[in-house]
């Protein structure tokens, strides 16, 4: 029995999110089908976490158990012909049999891409949130500083989230601007449902003057979803990296 870890990139546009569901196509089902065709086994993939409908990934991590003799590092090549064009394997390796993509994850990085010009761009439609307001980057950075750290993020949680505790820790938020593009890089231990998108929506509304920076503390303390800003749309969001404790399980960009 081998335990195979995959690092996965996908364009979320055509999928109803990561997690397998009845009647609609998901990334998990598409990947499980591909691996099953390759190995001839029923495959159950365990991911670092779900991604919602329309969300992209550059570095999603998932693992599966198999009796196949295919070497771990070969899956990234062998799966190509079984996968649709919008899912690709960044890397693959055999890992410790006890490695679990979700339980062992100790942190994640999400990237959120925003295009701020007045007019939309056809080539950006699936990949950037078009938010065409004049933005005060200094205010956005102030807002991001208020959000870093351990807080009760209940105001930033989707209403259908069933998490027991709503306390989460954000390690860092980088706000990068390049012309009309603004990217948020959010590093945290774990996240509530829709939390990244509500954080970004709120920071954008601080930047455009719709939410006052002084209200942010009240929004956090209020612990009600309606206090925070908009949920920014799924198509700007990318799961970029998942961190694991063990060095040999780290999602790095190693060369084989």
Query: Residue numbers of the site for its own copies (CB under 8 A)?
Result: 9-11, 56, 58, 76-77, 80, 85-90, 119-123, 125-127
In whole angstroms, the minimum distance from the beta carbon of 164 to its own copies comes to 34
Of 27 and 43, which CB lies nearer to its own copies in the complex structure? Answer: 27
Question: DSSP assignment, residue 73?
Answer: G
Q: Among all residues, which ones are annotated catalytic? A: 52
Put residue 194 in one of left, alpha, beta given phi > 0 → left and psi -120 to 50 → alpha. Answer: left
> d(Cα 3, Cα 138) in Å, to the nearest integer?
46
Nearest to 68 by CA among 56, 80, 83, 78: 78
Q: Which tokens sit at 238?
A: 């990318």
Strand partners, 110: 186, 239
CB of 162 to its own copies, least distance (A): 30
Residue number, 97 or 122, with CB nearest to its own copies? 122
Least distance to its own copies, CB of residue 165, Å = 34
Spatial separation of the C-alpha atoms in residues 79 and 32, rounded to whole Å: 11
How many angstroms separate the CA atoms of 200 and 208, rounded? 12
Cβ–Cβ < 8 Å for 28, 47: yes
Residue with Cβ nearer its own copies (46 or 90): 90
Who contacts 47 (Cβ-Cβ below 8 Å, separation ≥6)?
Answer: 18, 19, 28, 60, 61, 62, 101, 102
Nearer to its own copies, 125 or 212 (CB): 125
Give me 56's structure tokens: 């992209």
Provide, rounded to whole angstroms, the least separation between the CB of residue 133 and its own copies: 15
Closest distance to its own copies from the beta carbon of 33 (Å): 16
Cβ distance to its own copies smaller for residue 51 or 155: 51
Closest CA to 9 of 99, 67, 72, 84: 84
């Amino acid at each position: 029995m081998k335990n195979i870890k995959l690092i996965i990139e996908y364009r979320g546009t055509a999928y109803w999110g990561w997690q397998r569901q009845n009647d609609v196509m998901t990334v998990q089902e598409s990947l499980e089908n591909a691996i099953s065709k390759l190995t001839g086994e029923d495959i159950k993939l365990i991911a670092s976490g779900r991604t919602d409908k329309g969300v992209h990934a550059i570095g999603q991590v998932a693992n599966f158990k198999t009796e196949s003799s295919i070497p771990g590092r070969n899956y990234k090549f062998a799966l190509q012909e079984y996968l649709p064009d919008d899912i690709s394997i960044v890397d693959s390796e055999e890992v410790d049999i006890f490695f679990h993509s979700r339980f062992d994850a100790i942190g994640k990085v999400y990237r959120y891409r925003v295009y701020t010009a007045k007019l939309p761009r056809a080539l950006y439609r699936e990949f950037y949130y078009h938010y065409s307001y004049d933005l005060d980057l200094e205010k956005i950075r102030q807002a991001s500083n208020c959000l870093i750290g351990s807080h009760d993020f209940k105001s930033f949680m989707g209403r259908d989230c069933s998490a027991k505790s709503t306390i989460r820790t954000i390690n860092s938020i980088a706000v990068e601007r390049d012309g009309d593009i603004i990217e948020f890089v959010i590093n945290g231990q774990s996240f509530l449902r829709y939390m990244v998108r509500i954080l970004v929506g709120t920071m954008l509304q601080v930047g455009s003057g719709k939410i006052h920076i002084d209200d942010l503390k009240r929004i956090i303390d209020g612990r009600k979803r309606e206090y925070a800003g908009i949920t920014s749309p799924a198509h700007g969001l990318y799961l970029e990296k998942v961190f694991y404790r063990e060095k040999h399980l780290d999602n790095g960009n190693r060369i084989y």
